[in-house]
Structure 1
Amino acid sequence: MASDDLGLFGPDSVTWKVHAEPILLVGGLRSLYLQALHPRAMAGVAQNSSYQTDPWGRLLRTATYVATTVYGTTAEAQAAGRRLTALHSRLRARDPSTGTEFRIDEPDLLRWVHVTEVESFVDTARRAGLTLTDDEVDGYYTEQRRAAALVGLDPATVPGTAAEVAAYYAEVRSDLRMTREAAETALFLTAPPPPGTLSRPVRLGLSLGPTRWAYLGVAGTAFGLLPAWARRMYGTLGLPTTAFSAEVGVRALRLALGAVPRRYLEGPIYQAAMARAAAAQAARVAA
């Protein structure tokens, strides 16, 4: 029964431990900066996505998908995966260098998006202060192969440990570069228009209100958490001091989020998962 189904991971998983952290909003933003450095992946997004006209809607849809795969029932996660793969199967883009048309569900592109996402999540959570052993980090990557399978990837081809992720980044870096699309995307991620103002130009400077300044701080922290090689591709120096400042910032932000009542940070998918987990625990105790 769905009421007994704890989904692909469950309360004893590293995945639930990591994704219970609200600070992952910074990790999600970090992954987008990283993903933009892959020209073909960026072309697939730019040519098929509404991220510039509906950035907040796209962000909400992505967050809902991730929450469903992590905290939904097995059936809900599988259904979300089928919807996404069906959408991807219809989409095409043109290579910015050769003009050749390609499918955006090519395994290499799906793998890049998956790895940058999960690596950003676990790296951000750990650097923000979540205690994770090396074995737990490896366990997270291994568990997330189940999420990779939902989008059509062969789990055996997806990095399942921190060492495999590092090797994957070393292998794929020759395919990455700073392009005009990457620069435009990075600027957009750093200073997106607030909801309801997309018809007006974005102006940086004294016109920024407190909310925009706060978002700029979050975006700067996410960018500072990028690997040094990625920051260098964006034209910065990749200095250790940048990473240190970002870690100080993300730890402070995690502490600030910790002061917010949990009910304001928990979505309905998470709450339903906690209710199922509590019921399953009560049933075990009663037995």
Structure 2
Amino acid sequence: MDVSAPAVSYVRERLGSSLFSRVAGPAGRDTRARIHETPGPRWFAPDRPIRTVHGDASMFIGGLRALLLQSLHPLAMAAVAAHSGYRGDPWGRLQRTSTFLAVTTYGTAQDAQEAVDRVRAVHERVRGTTAAGESYHAADPHLLAWVHIAEVDSFLCAHQLYGARPLDADGCDAYIADMSRVAAALGVSDPPRTQAELAERLRAYRPELRATQEAREAARYILLRPPLPLIARAPYAALAANAVSTLPPWAREPLRLPRLPGFERTCVRLSGHALTRTIRWAMAPPPRAAGPRPADS
């Protein structure tokens, strides 16, 4: 059947706009213009790997993986459950996170520093005690480091599997080094700068990790009860399945996430590639536009 170019363009525009509004919020287009068009020095040059990774559709999978992995630290999960409002305002939290990533990756150095300062001010106020009686403080460098390495590992893992331009070994190290600059600005002490350092840091945290009731509830909410319209549930389920499939067994078992290796290597992986290609197609800028994709911000 012949499909007209206007019809394809219409579908592409509607799908891209819907995805962008979910990720960036109602002011997303203005925010994107400010981030990319404001003149001034940046933290990262246009050819840096952090721009390649954060501008790719694989971030949809990497972001879900990061949330699941981060939940395994009981202090981090307690802080999220008590202070983040992820149930009451999940899209707002996503939009704030995506804007922070966009500003620090693509924005001016001044805007990036201001974004970091705002996050650090929030972290200073987030304190409490877990159900087990353990105290936490979101500004604790040790806790910040866990959140950071879980993100870096997840974003890079997803990009290497589903990204349009996977990095070579040197590029992977360079991405981790790029992210270490943001982490240090946020208060992380001596963040990892290579794949070897990242793997060692993950191993060092494993004795502290466990799945609390809050973590399992968060996983069920993220994977099974997302606040989405019915039409979006099937593609989201495929993204979620791909996020789960990339987690190591030591992270999946405490969260009671099923493991089906054969099915995951075939059907799940194929669905992940198909979805990221579709997102990449829908959110690509029009031919006259320059710079990173709308997914960046």
- What is the CA–CA distance in structure 2 between the aligned matches of 1:141 and 1:95, rounded to whole Å? 31
Instruction: Please tell me whether residue 185 in structure 1 is matched to residue 218 in structure 2.
Output: yes
Residue number in structure 1 paired with 2:231: 210
- The 8 Å contact of residues 60 and 239 in structure 2, kept in 1 or not, is answered as no
CA distance in 2, matches of 1:45, 1:61: 14
Deviates more, 1:128-137 or 1:4-13: 4-13
Give how far 1:153 is off.
1.8
The residue correspondences of 1:1-287 to structure 2 (distance < 5 A) are 4-97=39-132, 99-129=133-163, 130-154=165-189, 157-194=190-227, 209-236=230-257, 238=259, 240-241=261-262, 244-245=265-266, 246-260=268-282, 262-263=284-285
Q: Structure 1 pair 86/116, CA: closer, same or farther in 2 (3 Å)?
A: same
> Unpaired segments of 5 or more residues in structure 1?
196-207, 275-287
Alpha-carbon contact 1:138-1:161 (below 8 Å) kept: yes
Q: Which amino acid aligns with 1:107?
A: P
CA distance in 2, matches of 1:133, 1:180: 39
| Residue identity matched to 1:147 | V
Give the structure-1-normalised TM-score: 0.81
Q: Where does residue 14 of structure 2 map in the other structure?
A: none
Amino acid in structure 2 at the alignment position of 1:215: Y
Partners of 1:192 and 1:269 in 2: CA distance: 35
Alpha-carbon distance, 1:209 to partner: 2.4
Give the drift of 1:243: 5.1
Amino acid at match of 1:115: I
What secondary structure, in the 3-state scheme, does the structure 1 residue paired with 2:253 have? Answer: helix
Q: What percent identity do the matched residue pairs reach? A: 36
SS of the equivalent of 2:285 reads helix
Q: Is the 1:24–1:121 Cα contact (8 Å) retained in structure 2?
A: yes
Provide Cα deviations, 1:129-148, integer angstroms capped at 9, x if missing partner.
43210110011001111110
Contact 1:141 1:159 in 2 (8 A): yes
> In the aligned structure 1, how far is the partner of 2:211 from the partner of 2:187?
28
Q: Give how far 1:193 is off.
A: 4.5
Does the 8 Å CA contact 2:283/2:293 hold for their aligned counterparts?
no
Report the Cα distance in structure 1 between the residues aligned to 2:198 and 2:265, rounded to whole angstroms.
22
Deviation of 1:23 after TM superposition, in Å, equals 2.1
* Cα distance in 1 for residues equivalent to 2:282 and 2:293: 16
Q: Which amino acid aligns with 2:246?
A: L
TM-score, L = length of structure 2: 0.78
Whether the 8 Å CA contact 1:22–1:254 is kept in 2: the answer is yes
Structure-2 residue corresponding to 1:205: none
Total equivalences in the alignment:
255
> Structure 2 CA distance, aligned partners of 1:222 and 1:124?
8
Assess, with a 3 A threshold, how the Cα gap between structure 1 residues 194 and 136 changes in structure 2: closer, same or farther.
Answer: same
Aligned 8 A contact 2:56 2:280 in 1? no
